Structure 1
Amino acid sequence: MIAAAAENNALGKDNDLLWHLPDDFKRFKKLTSGHKIIMGRKTYESFPKPLPNRTHIIITRDKNYTVNHDECIVVHSIDESIALVDNEIAFIIGGGEIYKLAERKSDKIELTRVHGTFEDADTFFPEIDENYWMLTKQEFHPTDDKHKLSFTYLTYEKKETVLKNL
């Protein structure tokens, strides 16, 4: 899973982000380019067009939903989306409901923790269960002329995976 969430786990409001963090966008592009990205229909529809160099797997309950782009595949469940990933890296990119469905099926979380709280958000990232996830890497990014908010890149891995590799 890959996400940017505030300290109160806020992800967005009205199908849009609550902040503008250019370095986080660059990191997202670097990590996800060349891979499959799995998302809900609302997340997909928040993009002006499909993101380049990525296969989009869109989850929707609407059996009649179609997308006219070769790089997009429409499915109707999280399990159906994961079945399209064959021993390769794929990223769950949102939204809130999809993150909740995918959390136990994922083996890593790349989270940008945005240092602030946004009470008016309408979409949230699930609480990270530290009994299940282990923080393995963190990198702080201070505010600067392009970033009004500071943030920290956090990498979590499933505890059983981390412990197995020790």
Structure 2
Amino acid sequence: MIWAQAANGVIGRDGTMLWHLPEDFEHFRRTTEGHPVIMGRRTWDSLPERFRPLPDRTNIVVTGDPSWSAEGAIRAGSVHYAVVAALGQPGSGPIWIIGGGTVYRNALAAQLADTAVITRIDTDVDGDTFAPELGFGWDLATSEPASGWSVAKNGTRYRIEIWVRSREAGLILL
């Protein structure tokens, strides 16, 4: 899973992100490029049309609407089916769950994720969508920088953390 969140856990409001952090956009692109990405329909809808589908990635959209379709996207009825669809795509490497809040929570509840790459932004914002709580069994593996904050060209302070599910917590494999 991969997301950016404000210090108070907000990841969005009204289908939009509440900050402009080009360094994080570049990190997201480098991390997910060449791999399947799984997102909810609202996340798909929130992407600017010129970025739909996200280039150089298999775009899998989770929606309960069986009639939904979009050029360049594979529809899945649940996060579980989205992962199954991603496993059937060419290439190797990680499958990235990119949002939104409900998709993250469902993936965690089903234990379908073993890594969370989180960009923490050093600000509080008002929002209506929140990052999931990783909870028991997740350990911080690394942080860049190791302590403190990076400072973006626009002055925004941020850091990128990689969290992994501990072996003791278990992981359901498909």
TM norm structure 1: 0.89
Match among 62, 66, 79 for residue 65 of structure 2: 62
Distance in 2, Cα, partners of 1:94 & 1:43: 6
In terms of fraction of residues, the more strand-rich structure is 1
Query: Does the alignment pair 1:82 with 2:83?
Result: yes
User: SS of the residue aligned with 1:112?
Assistant: strand
1:109-164 Cα offsets, whole Å, 9 max, x none, are: 0000111111x2011111221x21010100134334x33320110000111179xx
Equivalent residue for 1:31?
A: 31
Matches within 5 A, 1:1-166: 1-47=1-47, 48=49, 49-69=52-72, 72-86=73-87, 88-103=93-108, 104-118=111-125, 120-129=126-135, 131-140=136-145, 141-144=149-152, 146-160=153-167
Aligned residues between the structures: 158
8 Å contact 2:60–2:86 — kept in the other structure? Answer: no
Distance in 1, Cα, partners of 2:106 & 2:168: 20
Gaps of 5+ in 1: none
Gaps of 5+ in 2: 170-174
Distance in 1, Cα, partners of 2:120 & 2:83: 26
Letter in 2 for 1:55: T
- The CA RMSD measured in Å over matched residues stands at 1.8
Percent identity among equivalent residues?
34
User: SS of the residue aligned with 2:43?
Assistant: helix
Letter in 2 for 1:25: F
TM norm structure 2: 0.85
Letter in 2 for 1:79: H
Distance in 2, Cα, partners of 1:88 & 1:101: 22
8 Å contact 2:118–2:160 — kept in the other structure? Answer: yes
User: SS of the residue aligned with 2:162?
Assistant: strand
1:15-67 Cα offsets, whole Å, 9 max, x none, are: 01010111111110001000000000010111122111001000001111111
Distance in 1, Cα, partners of 2:137 & 2:7: 19
Large movers: runs of 4+ above 4 Å:
none
